[in-house]
Amino acid sequence: MSKLSNLALAGLGAVAMLAFSGAGFADQGVVTANPANGKKIFENGIGDKVPACATCHGDKAMGNDDMGTPRLANIGFVYIVKQLHNFKEDKRKDMTMFQMNDIAKNLTDQDMRDLASYEDTFPLDNPEVSDLKQLKANGTVVGESYKGKILVTYGSDKVSACKSCHSYDGRGADPIFPKIGHQKYVYLVNQLTHWRDGTRANDPKKMMEKIAQKLSDDDIHNAATYLSQAADSTAGDGYQFNNETVLDNIKIVK
């Protein structure tokens, strides 16, 4: 990537940070993040107010299909901070575990940045993908991957391709669009369903609501099936987004 492109991304990252991650950024000069403190919160919580994130999201932040919790590792610094702010401000409701709103209310802006920075330190390789065979055996409806690939890659006569915003195989387009490839299957299905029925409505541009409203149950299951297993790198397209465009421009403190 050229130096000019990197500068453009840095500028976009600064704008996105202010626009999408809550007013806390705008009130400070130098934005800082402390991954070490984020690790402490993730693994141990904060007193009796904030439980350890690992309890629900796993020690590698890979999420849990049985609990309906998402992968948090490497999905995007800005996105994580924005979602925590949205939970804190009740702009997004936790429709699965009913805990995130209370948890986020006990996090400071700095805590959120620290957590997000730590969650972007996990290795990109060896993801713990959803076990679709086991889910199906347990009675969960699972879609057809090849149909999901068509929808993700090319879209349909109703919706644009997922890759238009989330890049190839849902790898993410930092700093605005999160990584949705290798996201947990149950979480993907739940969120697309929530976008569709309006119980989730925290997309500032309302793009996801409009797209999800045009998806059938089969579309949702097929897209989630493909995305949950999609490769991070394929022949002819080996570039991996590290989803740290913004994080690269933040002062990391220890």
Fold match flag (3-125+243-252 vs 132-229) = yes
Q: What is the phi-psi region of residue 198: left when phi exceeds 0, alpha when psi lies from -120 to 50, beta otherwise?
A: left
Q: What is the DSSP secondary structure assignment for residue 247, as one 8-state letter?
A: G
User: pLDDT under 50 in the chain at which residues?
Assistant: 1-27
Helix (H) or strand (E) holding 251: strand 251-252
5: left (phi over 0), alpha (psi -120 to 50) or beta: alpha
The pLDDT of residue 243: 57
* pLDDT at site 15: 40
CATH number of 3-125+243-252: 1.10.760.10
Instruction: Name which of 107, 92, 120, 95 is nearest 51 in CA terms.
Output: 107
Residue 76, pLDDT score: 94
* DSSP state letters, 160-197: --THHHH-GGG--BTTTBPP-TT--HHHHHHHHHHHHH
Q: Helix (H, G, I), strand (E, B), or coil: what is residue 138?
A: coil
> Quick one: pLDDT at residue 13?
46
pLDDT tens-digit series, residues 19-58: 444 444 444 567 899 999 999 999 999 999 999 999 999 9
Domain residue ranges of the chain, discontinuous segments joined by + = 3-125+243-252, 132-229
pLDDT recorded at residue 242: 61
Token output for 231: 């490769």
Long-range own/partner contacts, residues 106-112 (CB < 8 A, 24 or more apart) = 106/46, 106/49, 106/50, 107/41, 107/46, 107/50, 109/22, 109/24, 109/25, 109/85, 110/32, 110/34, 110/37, 111/37, 111/38, 111/41, 111/46, 112/22, 112/24, 112/80, 112/81, 112/84, 112/85
> E strand or H helix at 252, and its extent?
strand 251-252
Query: Omega before 175 cis (within 30°)?
Result: yes
Q: What is the CATH code for 132-229?
A: 1.10.760.10
Burial 200-226 (b: 16+ CB within 10 A, else e): bebeeeeebbebbeebeeebbbbbbbb
CB 163, CB 177: distance < 8 Å: no
Contact 92, 157 (CB under 8 A): no
Quote the CA–CA distance of 84 and 112 in Å, as a whole number: 7
| Contact by Cβ (8 Å): 129, 182 | yes
